[in-house]
Amino acid sequence: MGAVLAVVNQKGGAGKTTLALNLAGILAGPRRRVALVDADPQRSAFNWGLSRKGDLAFPVHFLDARLGTARFRDKLKALAKDVEVLIIDTPPKLAQATLLSSLLADLLLIPVPTSIFDYWGAKETLGMLAEVRTRRENGLPGALLVPSKIRPGTKLAREFPKKLALMGEKVAPSVAERVAVVDAMGAGKTINQLNSAEAAIKEYKELAVFVLKILRDQSSN
């Protein structure tokens, strides 16, 4: 079964869907099959995928947690068997889909913008993570706090990752708030398909490398 990544934060507007889609775009390639599961009833990622014209490097599936725990879990496992990386875009408010995805995931990616409300949302998400780890009894899933919507070059951009590190989980490379990311999503592209997005592409590639390293480290333990 491929590695399963769940993008989670109990607060809406934290950038989960944008992170999930662009990370999938960076990771997908001839040597690495990637799929994305939209588990959010709003279906933002799924509908975005439908708007594409067949040139998407990874499939986007919709999976409804109202199927029931067993069917939801079994469908996730089946999808993960066909790829090297399965990314799950979860809904806000720590819904049932978030819990079920976390119970199966190898790694949680928690995007955290710099507002105090997003910070509180991340702390609540880590509370859920602690419960999941207790239930699984194997120390999984791992977790990465991803500083998101950062304004490059500011004092806050430099200090925010240090603040997140105090939560006790690993902190990933930051992803900035950039017009290029908005433009790419609006054009039906992932960031790596936009020629004018060098800075954003660099950030997402650094994040992807970091994520893959964490997964390798976990699998070797």
Average confidence (pLDDT) over 18-43: 96
Q: What is the pLDDT of residue 194?
A: 85
Q: What is the pTM of this model?
A: 0.95
At 67, the pLDDT band (50, 70, 90 cuts) reads confident
Q: What is the pLDDT of residue 142?
A: 96
Domain spanning 3-215, CATH class? alpha beta
From 100, 97, 146, 140, select the one nearest 121 (Cα to Cα).
146
Cα dist from 80 to 19, 90, 91, 206, 216, whole Å = 19, 16, 19, 24, 17
Q: What is the pLDDT of residue 54?
A: 62
Q: Would you list the domain boundaries of the chain?
A: 3-215
Q: Is the pLDDT of residue 55 over 80?
A: no
